[in-house]
Chain A
Amino acid sequence: MKPSARQAEESNRTLNRRALLLGGGMGAMIAVLGGRMRYLQVDQADAFQLLAEENRISIRLIPPGRGLIQDRNGKPIAANEQNYRVVITREAAGDVDLVLRRLATIIPMTAEELAATAEEVKSLSAFVPVTVAERLNWTDFSKIALNAPALPGVVPEVGLSRRYPLDFDFAHVVGYVGPVSEKDLEGVENPDPLLRIPKFQIGKIGVEKWMEDTLRGQAGAKRIEVNSAGRVMRELERQEGDPGANIRLTIDADVQNFAQARLGEESAAVVVIDVTNGDIICCVSSPSFDPNLFVRGISHTDYNALTENDHRPLANKAVSGAYPPGSTFKMVTALAALEAGATTEETKVSCPGYIEFGDRRFHCWRRSGHGTVRLERSLAESCDVYYYDIAQKVGIEKIAEMGRKLGLGQRYDIPMSALTEGNMPDKAWKLEKHKQDWRIGDTINASIGQGYVLASPLQLAVMTARIASGRAVVPRLVRMVQDKDVPVAEAPVLDIPAEHLAAVRQGMNAVVNDDAGTAKGSRIVDPMMAMAGKTGTSQVRNISASERDSGVISNDDLPWERRDHALFVGFAPVDAPRYAVAVVVEHGGGGSVAAAPIARDVILRAMSHGLPSLEAYPASQRGRIETMLQELPLRYPVTGMVPIRTKA
């Protein structure tokens, strides 16, 4: 069919009209697209630019170097050492299993470690480096570097890790660091972003934990560009952090080492305090452990060996152990009685070997009795009946008050873990704790540091320091932070009459230096260094009625864990006290035999440069002492005997 010219013209006009309509519609759509472009790229540009930067830039923290811990003279206790390690990245390695097998022929790796590493590598993104081995020695480390061509994807790296060069000596005081755990983050409001770094190490116990904020330092940061998969493309900017502050403790590492060696394998603790300023010179708990094991991640075998040991190496007995102070508490009772006027230096008490209150009979440790006893002799020979007598006159409240004045029953502010408060009981305490009234028998027991009275070796050392100085000495552990002295104010004078303290000190002098004294065997004969003190033997079991009648069984016949604790507190030099010492030997038997000799050796060591001079020991003991000293497993064997340390 052939349309007419008019029809053709008509249809052509329709087509043109429609084409123009289409053109208009398309133009409108293009205008919409242009408008949208303007909205996104001009109006919203800033917001999107920010989003693009957030996509692109990632901020990684640079862990700061951890502050060092040193002894009072600057000897390193906790240091950061170079840690040689190897990492592997999957994308560069290709055949991970093959490369790891080759690696295992160069460095020591067990089959399990090999499998675990291979698993980890495969579970992570191809470009994430995985640590294969750490703490390699230099030989292995260089072997890997040499064999690099055969080990694609394996990169040797150097990092910093914590090391404790004095291992056993400071395990309890300084503690150790370990990787951050979920538990560490619990309850922390705004955790330092550093804690989120995988395997970042923080203090777990001891000074490392309690001075974490000082030691950690400020994180540095680097701005890096990452791609969509998180791979680092380049570093844009770097800001180094501030390393943590170095800490100097008050402890003398040499004295600490000597004390640790002197305690040997005993389950025991010894604390020495400088009575002039409260500096803790040594604080030792035995047996100890190697904190480096924990930094590396302790094996099950090692850990079980530590927890199953009945001498409890993990416990810091010096500050956490709460022991009945036994007769070392008698100074408190005496001072309370003197203050209350319940006794005087001259008051005489008759000791028939026991005392009766109501229907109960309380025995003196010497069944035959001491006869007529005055204050000095009551301390020197440790007469129990004397204290039973004055205690029931003065009452528990005054005794407890005196105990607290001398530093018992309270926790000191020092950066160590598991500080015990001990216990200084009174009537209110017993009513609250046991829902019972205080009885006279409780006072009798407390008067000789038994029953409810508990104290840690640190508290006993503080008590002794306060008696020796007449001042409210407060112990301190940190001497300097970042080369700046931590200020120490002179301790205030105790409100105890000087003559009372003098009387008690005279009694303590007699304990050691009187021929009838309980610790006469641990005398220091050098008058410049003479020691005063008090022995203690505290029962760890209840004495049964039958035992009471038949006489107490000798300690030697008992199993170890039921034997008495041996205690000794002392100070030296007698006429110008400088150091106070407290020793507890768990289940050691008598204080005079098991504890006093240790106290003498350690306090002598504190007063000397190097090993104590044999001149200080009674002539009859020198041969034995010399052998003992020579056989001590000291870290830095000291040659020759050096004269007395000059008074500071």
Chain B
Amino acid sequence: MSFLEYKLKLAPTGLSKILHLNWPLVILVTAVASIGFLMLYSIAGGNLDTWARPQMERFAAGMVLMFLVAMMPIWFWRSMSGAAYLVAFVLLLVVEFFGAVGMGAQRWIDLGFIRLQPSEMMKFTLVMALAAYYDWLDPKRVSHPLYVLIPVLLIITPTVLVLMQPNLGTSLMLILAGATVMFAAGVSLWYFAAVSSLGVGAIAGVFLTRGTPWQFLHDYQYTRIDTFLDPTSDPLGAGYNIIQAQIALGSGGWSGKGFMQGTQSRLNFLPEKHTDFIFTTLAEEFGFLGAFSLLILYALIIGFCLFAALQNRDRFSALLIIGVAANFFFYIAVNLSMVMGLAPVVGVPLPLLSYGGSAMMVLLVGFGLVQSAHVHRPR
């Protein structure tokens, strides 16, 4: 659909757009972020200024950005998709190839009030570009090999750049979110089945040949994989963090040790407790009730997003919302699996909770896009 086909008269205009925002989503996001402030306050030992206040300031700024993005019509964002993807891609190239020389191996660009990480920007510009691509593409051709290759290249090229930084977590997120958009756009399941079986086959090949003369990797590489997969095999080294995180989680019990009473976090047994492992402190201090409530809040956010996508008959909007929701979901899933010992440790923050300005801003801009799509949906 082109924007000419939108029934413009039915789309809200001016300040009345505010009334048409997806308010439950706004409230849920604020609620989760507030839990984050509380935890950051607790982790700092009751100090507001260490982490909680900067995080609140960034959240406020991010909310303003979200509203601004939401106010802009979705067809504006669609027309910006290609340009945004290109800008993010160029910035990625800049920090990758010139950052090492000119900026002392930085992976970010300092904008004064915030340090902009191009890899963060790429998370949603990629989703936008893919959504715009599938909006443009004739739905009959989505499974045509040539038209599958194009989005694959759109995903793989920035992923390789991010992987070279090296940032395994973010590159994984790019692939998962991109694949989700492709999946939602209707690309034949055979492609996904083929890629999945290739991946499984490669992994199986690596492990099945272990110990045979024609094994793929060196023995020391296998040992590294073992530690990666099973942290308890190295309890004081690589496995220490994950073991301590599980102790914190488990010892929280049903209702937790109480606000600011978490011994594991207060006595420094927890690693990265204000960033990637912030969930452990929550689970320790508020127990299963607190942790599960957070999970429900997250599920509601994703649910509202998916519902908004189903409601939206604009293909770009729907795909964009699904892409943002998938991105949000994969961050949560990977982070929680990691801290709960279901997956190996990959440096991935917990959205809205982990301390960090760049990720928070980008995420809120993403939600701004969701809101814009929702406000300007065809009626």
Spell out A's residues near B (CB within 8 Å).
1, 3, 7-8, 10-12, 14-16, 18-20, 22-23, 26-27, 29-30, 32-34, 36-38, 40-42, 44-45, 47-49, 51-53, 55-56, 225-229, 233
Contact = CB atoms under 8 A, between A and B. Distances in A.
Given A14-B139, A15-B185, A33-B336, A45 B250 contact: yes
A41 B288 contact: yes
Interface string B250-264: 111110000000011
Contact of B247 (A8, A14, A15, A48): A48
B310 A20 contact: yes
B263 A33 contact: no
A3 B139 contact: yes
Interface stretch (B68-76, B103-111, B314-322): B314-322
A55 B265 CA distance: 11
B198 to A, nearest CB: 20
15 contacts: A14-B186, A15-B186, A15-B318, A18-B183, A18-B185, A18-B186, A20-B310, A29-B333, A33-B337, A40-B246, A41-B249, A42-B288, A55-B269, A56-B264, A56-B267
Interface in B284-306: 287-288, 291-292, 295, 298-299, 302-303, 306
B329 interface: yes
B250 A26 contact: no
Nearest to A1: B138
B259 to A, nearest CB: 17
Most buried by A among B244, B287, B336, B342: B336
Contacts of A227: 267-269
Contacts of B306: 19, 22-23, 26
A41 B254 contact: yes
A40 B250 contact: yes
A55 B262 CA distance: 12
Contacts of A16: 310
A5 B140 CA distance: 13
Contacts of A27: 299
A41 B250 contact: yes
Contact of A52 (B184, B247, B292, B341): B247
Given A16-B310, A37-B292, A22 B139 contact: no
B43 interface: no
B26 to A, nearest CB: 21
Closest 7 CB pairs of A and B: A48-B250, A11-B139, A52-B251, A41-B288, A227-B267, A45-B253, A228-B268
A51 B250 contact: yes
Interface in B130-165: 138-140
A23 B292 CA distance: 19
Given A41-B287, A229-B268, A33 B251 contact: no
A160 B29 CA distance: 62
B140 A47 contact: no
B138 A47 contact: no
A42 B318 contact: no
Nearest to A47: B250
B362 interface: no
B336 to A, nearest CB: 5
B1 interface: yes
Contacts of B329: 26, 29
B139 A41 contact: no
Contacts of B269: 55, 227-228
Contacts of A38: 288, 292
A156 B88 CA distance: 62
Interface residues of B, number: 50
Most buried by B among A8, A11, A225, A226: A11
B309 interface: yes
Interface in B181-203: 183-186
Contacts of B180: 22
A537 B250 CA distance: 83
A9 to B, nearest CB: 9
Given A33-B333, A40-B340, A48 B249 contact: yes
B251 A45 contact: yes
A79 B267 CA distance: 41
B248 interface: yes
A511 B124 CA distance: 117
Given A3-B138, A40-B250, A41-B253, A22 B337 contact: no
Contact of A55 (B264, B292, B333): B264
Contact of A36 (B140, B318, B326, B342): B342
B342 A11 contact: no
Contacts of B21: none
Nearest to A23: B306
B313 interface: yes
B291 A37 contact: yes
B283 interface: yes
Given A37-B288, A45-B250, A45-B254, A22 B183 contact: yes
B315 A15 contact: yes
Most buried by B among A20, A23, A47: A23
Given A1-B138, A18-B186, A22-B322, A37 B267 contact: no
A34 B292 contact: yes
A512 B140 CA distance: 135
Contact of B184 (A22, A47, A55, A233): A22
Given A7-B140, A33-B295, A52 B263 contact: yes
A545 to B, nearest CB: 77
Interface in B165-221: 180, 183-186
A30 B264 contact: no
Given A11-B186, A37-B340, 5 more contacts: A15-B319, A37-B292, A48-B246, A48-B249, A52-B263
A11 B142 CA distance: 10
A37 B295 contact: yes
A3 to B, nearest CB: 6
B263 A37 contact: no
A185 B158 CA distance: 64
Contacts of B253: 41-42, 45, 49
A33 to B, nearest CB: 5
A10 B139 contact: yes
A11 B185 CA distance: 8
Nearest to A33: B336
A10 B299 CA distance: 29
Given A10-B139, A16-B310, A41 B298 contact: no
A49 B186 contact: no
A22 B264 CA distance: 36
A37 B287 CA distance: 9
